């Protein structure tokens, strides 16, 4: 079974900071603060449209109260990171994070910890899009600031090292990735303990580095450790548990141990969909891979369901005539033919033909 190469899921640590010790917020209370609290409440409830409206209101009110390009606005923009990541609004996220960075550099100086936090946020937004060349410079700069200000064994340094490890890993720089991740893990275990969920993140990332070097025993060991920590702390349906499940599944898939990998991946897919929703860009590869697994095992009803979800997602993200619509159309047509629904399959085949003609005519 061939799974999408992009199905690799490499989680990175986030500084979730609505009230962080290093943020520079004026003590004055205003409408912006109520807006921000409501935005974070809606975000936690998964009500993203309302969360975005409140974030925008908070920015508008902060600008009105403190003037344009103030530190309060910079903090609000920085604290929107979880919203941009969970909704997949990366272009807007990068734009607003750069605005936050510009304000903080000008008001606080280039070596302030809030500048490092914003650089880290910027790097994470690029990592989420697999734009690793763009992610590396802000990640390195954030690391340098934190080491200079906090010392080499601080947990924020460890988080920067973890993010840098993910960048090196995806560029095939495995030796460098392993080195920075081992250093990050040492600090995490020392600062937070061996069973903290943040420690589990680094453990899992080390597993990916070993996997891509085909060091399967080491990869399986780290993935199992990461999964055990997360299940113990978060429960079997925890969002981060899905990352460990997917990682362990990939270790087995790469060794052709599909019977061991498939149930793990499908369990991860269910958690991802439940947490992110069917319209999140991350679900693109997950729906496809789940459909491939079901089709290979002749579970055509479940394969059809996942291909239909994939088709709907790509139509939403790309439009009805985009060339990447062809894969779910053709896959769905194949399932319909397998189950004796030739007429429905022909409708999809005709649509695929029209898309190809339009694509050639561009």
Q: Is residue 151 predicted with pLDDT exceeding 90?
A: yes
Q: How many helices (H) and strands (E) does the chain have?
A: 17, 0
| 24-69: pLDDT as tens digits | 444 344 589 899 999 999 888 778 899 999 999 999 999 999 988 8
| 220-238: pLDDT as tens digits | 999 999 999 999 999 999 9
Percent of the chain with pLDDT over 90: 79
Query: CB within 8 A of 313, min separation 6: which ones?
Result: 278, 279, 281, 283, 284, 287
Cα–Cα dist 98/69, whole Å:
12
Confidence of residue 17 (pLDDT cuts 50, 70, 90): very low
CA angle in degrees (0–180, nearest 5) for 15-121-17: 30
Instruction: Find the range with the poorest average confidence among 15-24, 118-127, 186-195, 252-261.
Output: 15-24
Query: Are 254 and 216 contacting, i.e. CB atoms less than 8 angstroms apart?
Result: yes
| 260-295: pLDDT as tens digits | 999 999 999 999 999 888 988 889 999 999 999 999
Distance linking the first and last C-alpha atoms of the chain? 34
pTM: 0.76
Tokens 């062809």 appear where? 326
Query: CB within 8 A of 54, min separation 6: which ones?
Result: 35, 36, 38, 39, 42
Percent of the chain with pLDDT over 70: 91
pLDDT value at position 330? 95
| DSSP state letter for 5 | G
Cα–Cα dist 283/303, whole Å:
15
Query: Are 176 and 168 contacting, i.e. CB atoms less than 8 angstroms apart?
Result: yes
DSSP reduced 3-state for 342: helix
Task: Catalogue all structural domains in the chain, each as residue range(s) with its CATH number.
Answer: 1-150 (1.25.40.10), 170-255 (1.25.40.10), 264-362 (1.25.40.10)
pLDDT value at position 317? 85
Q: Dihedral angle at the C-alpha atoms of 56, 46, 86, 226, nearest 10 degrees?
A: 140
Question: Looking at residues 76-88, what average pLDDT do you find?
Answer: 91
Mean pLDDT of the chain: 89
Cα–Cα dist 265/258, whole Å:
10
Cα–Cα dist 296/8, whole Å:
20
Confidence of residue 204 (pLDDT cuts 50, 70, 90): very high
Query: CB within 8 A of 325, min separation 6: which ones?
Result: 311, 314, 315, 318, 355
Q: Dihedral angle at the C-alpha atoms of 130, 86, 116, 77, nearest 10 degrees?
A: 130
pLDDT value at position 170? 87
Query: CB within 8 A of 149, min separation 6: which ones?
Result: 111, 113, 116
Q: Is residue 311 predicted with pLDDT exceeding 50?
A: yes
Cα–Cα dist 36/52, whole Å:
10
Q: How many CB atoms lie within 10 A of CB 262?
A: 21
Cα–Cα dist 213/204, whole Å:
15
């Amino acid at each position: 079974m061939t799974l999408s190469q992009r199905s690799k899921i490499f989680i990175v640590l986030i500084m979730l900071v609505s009230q962080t010790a290093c943020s520079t917020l004026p003590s004055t209370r205003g409408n912006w603060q109520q807006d921000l609290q409501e935005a974070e409440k809606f975000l936690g409830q998964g009500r993203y449209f309302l969360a975005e409206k409140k974030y925008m209101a908070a920015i508008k009110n902060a600008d009105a109260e403190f003037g344009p390009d103030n530190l309060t606005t910079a903090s609000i923009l920085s604290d929107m990171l979880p919203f941009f990541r969970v909704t997949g609004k990366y272009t807007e996220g990068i734009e607003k994070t750069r605005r936050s960075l510009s304000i903080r550099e000008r008001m606080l100086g280039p070596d302030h910890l809030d500048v490092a936090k914003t650089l880290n946020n910027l790097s994470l937004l690029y990592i989420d899009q697999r734009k690793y060349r763009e992610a590396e410079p802000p990640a390195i700069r954030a690391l340098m600031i934190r080491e200079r200000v906090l010392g080499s064994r601080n947990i924020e340094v460890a988080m920067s090292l973890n993010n840098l490890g993910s960048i090196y890993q995806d560029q095939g720089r495995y030796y460098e990735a392993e080195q920075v991740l081992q250093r990050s893990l040492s600090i995490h275990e020392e600062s937070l303990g061996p069973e903290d969920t943040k420690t589990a993140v680094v453990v899992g990332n080390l597993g990916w580095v070993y996997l891509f070097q085909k060091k399967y025993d080491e990869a399986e060991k780290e993935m199992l450790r990461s999964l055990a920590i997360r299940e113990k702390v978060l429960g079997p349906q925890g969002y981060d548990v899905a990352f460990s499940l997917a990682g362990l599944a990939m270790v087995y898939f790469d060794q052709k141990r599909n019977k061991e990998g498939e149930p793990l991946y499908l369990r991860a897919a269910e958690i991802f969909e439940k947490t992110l929703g069917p319209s999140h860009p991350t679900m693109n590869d997950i729906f496809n891979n789940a459909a491939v697994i079901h089709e290979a095992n002749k579970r055509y009803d479940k394969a059809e369901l996942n291909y239909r979800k994939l088709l709907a997602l790509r139509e939403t993200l790309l439009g009805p005539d985009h060339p990447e619509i062809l894969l779910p159309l053709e896959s769905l047509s194949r399932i319909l033919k397998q189950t004796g629904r030739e007429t429905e399959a022909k409708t999809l085949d005709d649509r695929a033909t029209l898309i190809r003609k339009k694509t050639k005519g561009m």
